[in-house]
Amino acid sequence: MAPRSRQRRHKKPPSSVTPMVVTPPTVVTSVPLTLSKPDPSIDALGFFSLDNNVPGLSQLILQKLNMKSYEEYKLVLDGGASVSGFGFGCLQEMFQKMEDTFRFCAHCRALPSGLSDSKVLRQCKRCRNVYYCGPECQRSDWPEHRKVCQELRLVAVDRLMEWLLVTGAFVLPSGPWPCLAEVVQGWDTWFSMRCLQLDATLDAVLGSHAMTTLWANVRRPKPDPDVLQGSLKRLLTDALSRPLTLGLGLRALGIDVGKTGGSTVHVVGASHVETFLTHPGDYDELGYMFPGHLGLCVIMVGIDVCAGLTQSTSTSPLEPGTVQLSGHRGLYHDFWEEQVETGQIAHPDLVVAFHPGFHASPDLMEAWLPTLLLLRDYEIPTLITVYSHQELAASLQILVDLDTHITAYGANPFASLKPEEVYSNPNKQPVYCNAYYIMFLGSSCQLDKKQLEEKVDGEV
């Protein structure tokens, strides 16, 4: 099987490989919102490559979002254009248009526009996620679809429930951890630690007006409370996977967060995925993981970092016990030369790349190479994440070929538990964000190199 590619863009022109964030204009608030998280496969292949699997899909999405072109869509994502002009009349219409972007035959790929008048696309009744142009397609597809139908059912619920996170109706539990941080080694211990607080939060959301409004507007039956609760928990792991994975890296690489002046983490190759709708408090959980820390500064660096985050960047000094989140738009090696080497921004104690995906294509590898070599040669503790075991193997091979000194790799105890559908190819096995990690530090030939330098120096 060909490697699934779903990496973040690092250096490509905007139209080629860009994460997809569906941005429904809304009547609820004036800021652009996202309902569905970027699809992994779209990250990799780009917005227009959706058409490789389902011809015409990219146009359908633009049309449903009332946008004329990809440029317009991108502008809204960047926060450079008002979305008010696209306004939907009501919430119901918005959910309907969102759902319409999923409407194509999962078997023959027909779009509604390509069907004869007598035919309509009908949903798989089990998952309520994929569509078929008729019983023949549904029957022929079942042997494949049955393997993922169950998981896609969760995807369909999560996609709608995400609205509660976006509108702020579902606020993640926060505050210092009520136990020794060392005890929390994964989701099991995290959930039991937050148990009391979490139960209260989930009960409040389940009984909220926002929940009722949501299901009244989506034209499908409201699932049972335990299904809804499961979804909220998955969304929570998805939101907290990134800060806690940074914490995993700080822990595993033995980084001292009691350093005077605070510690700095760079998130490289950051894009819309990490920065769109990011709030200042989103990484607070990282701080609670290290009680007594002297300040943690998280800087997102990438050419697709959302304008909102770079604008909100604070210049105030890092206070002990606080987590400061900021963004910088640009390529990492440029950022390094202009900001880090000149001393304007602190040297990173840890560098993290979420799903860099350099294994996926020579183009992406070429784009990532300067950054990888820089991290290796400056001996910066680095952590990367990947979506699957297959990607783990491919990425490890590349890092070994680059002579990086790999210190650890494996399944991430703080992986997202929310399945991600491969949007334009729904029968592909769903994947999970940050499923595996790799950590490296410097070069595996470091010793040889040092010895060599000593030898050369000695000879001079």
Q: In the bound complex, what is the minimum distance in angstroms from residue 150's beta carbon to Zn ion?
A: 8
By the 8 A CB rule, do 9 and 38 touch?
no
Q: Which is nearer to Zn ion, 155 or 211 (CB)?
A: 155
* Binding of Zn ion by 149 (CB under 5 A): yes
* Binding of Zn ion by 107 (CB under 5 A): yes
**Distance between CA 390 and CA 51 in Å, rounded?**
25
* Binding of Zn ion by 124 (CB under 5 A): yes
In the set 126, 219, 220, 389, which binds Zn ion (CB under 5 A)?
Answer: 126
| Cα→Cα distances 166→34, 69, 171, 277, 315, Å | 7, 25, 9, 8, 27
* Binding of Zn ion by 127 (CB under 5 A): yes
Q: Which stretch binds Zn ion (CB under 5 A): 1-9, 62-70, 141-149, 205-213?
A: 141-149
Rg value, the chain, Cα = 23
SS3 labels along 188-226: HHHHHHHHHHHHHHHHHHHCCHHHHHHHHHCCCCCCCHH
In the set 108, 181, 252, 394, which binds Zn ion (CB under 5 A)?
Answer: 108
Q: Which stretch binds Zn ion (CB under 5 A): 111-119, 122-130, 189-197, 388-396?
A: 122-130
Q: In the bound complex, what is the minimum distance in angstroms from residue 388's beta carbon to Zn ion?
A: 22
* Binding of Zn ion by 347 (CB under 5 A): no
* Binding of Zn ion by 373 (CB under 5 A): no
Q: Which is nearer to Zn ion, 98 or 124 (CB)?
A: 124
Strands (E), 57-123: 122-123
| Cα→Cα distances 177→127, 278, 419, Å | 37, 22, 27
Q: Which is nearer to Zn ion, 108 or 210 (CB)?
A: 108
* Binding of Zn ion by 133 (CB under 5 A): yes
* Binding of Zn ion by 54 (CB under 5 A): no
* Binding of Zn ion by 121 (CB under 5 A): no
Please tell me what DSSP assigns to residue 178: S
**Distance between CA 286 and CA 80 in Å, rounded?**
30
In the set 105, 157, 305, 441, which binds Zn ion (CB under 5 A)?
Answer: 105
Q: Does residue 200 come out as left (phi exceeding 0), alpha (psi in the -120 to 50 range) or beta? A: alpha
Residues at the contact surface with Zn ion, assessed by CB under 5 A: 105, 107-108, 110, 124, 126-127, 133, 137, 149
